[in-house]
Structure 1
Amino acid sequence: MRREYDKYHLINVFCSLVDHGSLSKAAKHLGLSTPTVSKTLAQLEQALGQVLLNRTTRAIAVTDAGRIAYQKGQKIISSFAELEDQIAEAATLTRGKLKITFAETLGLKVFSHICNDFQKAFPDFSLELIFSPYHLDLIEDDIDIAFRVWETLPDCQFYAQSLFSIRPIFIAAPTYLEEHGCPKSIAELSQHNIMLTRLDGLEDGWSIDGKFYQFNGNLISNKTFHTRAAALNGNGIAKLPSYFCQRDIKKGRLVEVLPELERKDKTVGALYKVKRKDSKKIDVFLNFAQERLQEYDFSLFDK
């Protein structure tokens, strides 16, 4: 069975035949051989069940059915050319709508700043921003860009761009450490009240030198903001991403516990469905985000 998209090729060859008045001239214009053009015409006539051209050794004559096919064919060719132009224009536009999703804390602490600056620089863009504790589906939820955190690049059908690295760290208020002491090892850390944040998964332990240490505490929150607030209140030692509490550490409100511990950095990156070279709006936004992230001092992020 002939594939549907071949019909455009048949119509295009036929219209070129009518325009040029001969098989050889049409073949030259299309970059095809004369026998190929003749065979293509026969295929179209067979598909339509009508003779479209009467051919002699010197000329071709368009039949009544051929005139209808030529008129409709010209519209098809014109519509397809318009489609190509619109697609090409869309790929180069520096305006449009982007639907972007972030993990809540990451989005609010980092990317909301970038999005505000982006809309100031590109006012013709419309942004729909979704701050969610859950991973939205790029296909089902029609997401253009999803900013995620991963240790290993997820195995999926999407394109990915790494942006920056973050470290998970342990922090506590000076008042807590004065009252309960500062742990000198990961074994001692396990004896303290460790407050955790439940996001996509609960990391309630730490693997080092092949040994896994389990942490226990009286708080598991699904909001990093609350875990940080509990730490600032002196309730215990919190496990948080480094970018989230650098300003607190700099101001002395929080202290990093066991900074010498080995840890595996996580990557903050973007997932998107379309190659950047095929979507100007995605490429423009990601380029802007990458430039801003290079300039940002993460220690300046506050509540």
Structure 2
Amino acid sequence: MDKLGSLQTFVKVVDEGSFAAAARAIGQSRSQVNRAVIALEENLGVQLLNRTTRQVAVTPSGRAFYDRAKAVLADLHEAEEAIRENRETPSGDIRINAPMSFGTLHLGPALVDFAREYPDIRVELALSDRFIDPVADGYDMTVRISQPSETLALIDHEIIPMNRVLCASPEFIRKHGEPKTPRDLATLPCLHYGNLPAGSNWKMNGPDGPVSVQVNGVFCCNNAEVLRDAAIADLGLALLPTFIAGPELQNGRLISVLCDYQPPELFLYLLYPPSRQLSARIRLLVDFIYDRFGGQAYWDLVQ
């Protein structure tokens, strides 16, 4: 039995939903496809598919085997591409997931430069603030801003700490006064990020250790650019990443406050399956992102 061929045929049947559709997709007869799957079932000693006249349904054993088979075929594909790429100019597709604001403000322009430098590599960038599993969702790489993951199933490549700052507009400070301690945030108008699990509970590390305060939330949003604009419009105090607030802090439209108190540290890091390390194009992209964003963050530099 051609185990690899039978494995590929079985996966195609599940993907297409029928023997006939799988046969058309791979250019074989329906009977050839059926024989390949039967041979695989006999070799494994389990039934992988329930067959009807119109469609096939995957058994529980078949579903578990399909997931493993899909991963094996993907790893094999990556290994083959890695060998080819080591002999020639890197090419192929890279599917990337990244946070919305960082993607539009910083990563997007960087990937435009990457695509210009490596025209044989096709880049697909999907922006979303939802945490995704790069393997389950079919991405080659995920860019995250958070505390690093501890999963052993994925490569975790840290790039740079991502600073955040508590800030407000000069007019807001003139009208309400500058907070002296985190406790003042319980009474002053605050703008908070609506997607944070802690909601309007802000945690900071100060001279005397960790501090937690339930802020006076007057406006929330799951997009930090909206919160930045609300802060510029004198609506309240906001805890913002400097990759968003940096230009406004530099030109004076926003002023940092409570500088002795810092929120928990976040990092910009890359997350990708171990098999992707074999790919020359992934290695190129990792190096490119590190060269662009590693070291001192350009958005934190004083102009």
Q: What TM bracket, shorter-length normalisation? A: 0.5 to 0.7
Q: What SS does the aligned partner of 1:189 have? A: helix
Q: Partner of 2:216: helix, strand, or coil?
A: coil
**Which residue of the partner structure matches residue 206 of structure 1?**
203
Q: List gaps (5 residues or longer) in structure 2.
A: 5-77
- Compared CA separation, residues 84 and 259, structure 1 to 2 (3 A): closer
Following superposition of structure 1 onto structure 2, how do residues 170-185 of structure 1 map, counting pairs within 5 Å?
170-185=166-181
The separation in 2 between residues aligned to 1:207 and 1:145, in whole angstroms, is 31
**Candidates 98, 105, 113, aligned match of 2:101:** 105
Aligned to 1:287: 287
- Aligned-pair CA distance for 1:240: 1.0
Give identity over the alignment, percent: 20
Q: Distance in 1 between matches of 2:184 and 2:79?
A: 66
Aligned equivalent of 1:297: 298
1:48 maps to what in 2?
A: none
Q: Corresponding residue for 2:118?
A: 122
RMSD across aligned positions (CA): 2.7
Residue 164 in structure 1 maps to residue 160 in structure 2: yes
Q: Which moved more, 1:133-142 or 1:201-210?
A: 201-210
- CA–CA distance in structure 1, aligned partners of residues 163 and 80 of structure 2: 46
Q: Partners of 1:87 and 1:189 in 2: how far apart? A: 53
Match of 1:254 in 2: 254
**8 Å CA contact 1:159, 1:275 repeated in 2:** no
Task: Show the counterpart of 2:278.
Answer: 278
**Aligned partner of 1:215: which letter?**
V
**Segment drifting more, 266-275 vs 226-235:** 266-275
- Structure 2 CA distance for partners of 1:139 and 1:170, relative to 1, 3 Å: same
For residues 35-93 of structure 1, the C-alpha deviation after alignment (integer angstroms, 9 at most, x for no partner) is xxxxxxxxxxxxxxxxxxxxxxxxxxxxxxxxxxxxxxxxxxxxxxxx98765114665
1: CA distance, partners of 2:239 / 2:221: 11
- CA-CA distance at 1:239 after TM superposition: 1.1
Question: Residue deviations 1:78-120, cap 9 Å, x none?
Answer: xxxxx98765114665221100010111211221121011111
In structure 2, what is the Cα distance between the partners aligned to 1:86 and 1:192? 57
Aligned counterpart in structure 1 of residue 84 of structure 2, from 82, 89, 106? 89
SS in 1 for 2:160: strand
Distance 1:162 1:264 in 2: 16
Cα distance change on mapping 1:84 and 1:130 into 2, 3 Å: closer
The answer to whether the 8 A contact 2:185-2:213 is kept is: no
Q: CA deviation at 1:166?
A: 1.2
Which residue is 1:73 aligned to? none
Is 1:237 equivalent to 2:232 in the alignment? no
Q: SS state of the match for residue 120, structure 1?
A: helix
Matches of 2:253 and 2:155, distance apart in 1: 40
Question: Are the counterparts in 1 of residues 204 and 264 from structure 2 also a CA contact under 8 Å?
Answer: no
| Amino acid corresponding to residue 188 of structure 1 in structure 2 | D
Sort the Cα spacing of 1:85 and 1:101 in 2 relative to 1 into closer, same or farther, 3 A.
Answer: closer
CA distance in 1, matches of 2:102, 2:182: 27
Q: 5+ unaligned residues in a row in structure 1: which ranges? A: 6-82
Q: In 1, Cα distance between the equivalents of 2:182 and 2:253? A: 22
Checking the alignment, whether the CA contact within 8 Å between 2:82 and 2:278 is kept in structure 1 is: no
The offset of 1:121, in angstroms, is 0.9
TM-score normalised to the size of structure 1? 0.67
Aligned-partner residue type, residue 155 of structure 2 = Y
Alignment of 1:149-160 (within 5 A): 149-160=145-156
CA distance in 1, matches of 2:113, 2:261: 36
Residues 151 and 267 of structure 1 are in contact (CA less than 8 Å); yes or no, is this contact kept in structure 2? yes
Q: Which amino acid aligns with 1:259?
A: C
Cα gap change, 1:104/1:85 in structure 2, threshold over 3 Å: closer, same or farther?
closer
Cα offset, 1:168, TM superposition: 2.3
Q: Match of 2:178, as an amino acid? A: C
Alpha-carbon distance in 1 for matches of 2:273, 2:219? 37
Q: Deviations over 1:103-141 (max 9, x none)?
A: 111211221121011111111111111011212221232
2-structure distance, mates of 1:258, 1:207:
10
Query: Partner letter of residue 235 of structure 2?
Result: N
The AA in structure 2 aligned to 1:297 is Y
Task: Between 173-182 and 200-209, report the one with greater CA deviation.
Answer: 200-209
Query: In 2, are the aligned partners of 1:198 and 1:221 still within 8 Å (CA)?
Result: yes
- How far did residue 154 of structure 1 move? 3.4
Determine if contact 2:185/2:216 at 8 Å carries over to the other structure.
no
Q: Which has the larger Rg?
A: 1
Contact 2:110–2:292 at 8 Å: present in 1 too? yes
